[in-house]
Amino acid sequence: MMNDLQPGQKLARGVARHLRQLGYVSVEEFVPERGKRVDVMALGPKGELWVIECKSSRADFQSDAKWQGYLEWCDRYFWAVDIDFPVELLPEGTGLIIADAYDAEVVRMAPEAKLAPARRKKMIQKFATDAARRLQGLRDPRPGQDGCLIGGSEAEGE
């Protein structure tokens, strides 16, 4: 399975492993709103929300024109790159994580910009819902195949 992962996905895996050691849980390829997809969204033990964008190369970083749109969805924003990445390209005022497929290390803590309480509540609920749906999808990848509609109009009419 490891060979099936793209370079950025390998970085995300190492980041998720490290975050777990810090007491955070994470969801990869999280969509905070339509049209936006962050590589890793992390939820901390005190409700902190971090966005981590994984960049596997200079070209990958330079083609990312939308990263600033993610700042409004987190308390802290990080870049995750491998040891050979030219970190001088990364913007000041953002966090830095050096990662590989197996682990990571926060080498520069991102500045904190706390989310408004209403946005935090919305994001934590979306995080939980997305994580639960993914877990359910692993256990039952083809819901409704037995003729039942879960949450559909037939179930609502009973």
pLDDT of the residue at 158: 31
pLDDT tens-digit profile of 107-132?
999 999 999 999 999 999 999 999 99
Number of domains in the chain: 1
Q: pLDDT band at residue 151, thresholds of 50, 70 and 90?
A: very low
Are residues 46 and 88 in contact, defined by beta-carbon separation less than 8 angstroms? no
The domain containing residue 136 runs over which residues? 2-156
pLDDT tens-digit profile of 73-89?
999 999 999 999 999 99
DSSP lists the bridge partners of residue 77 as 51
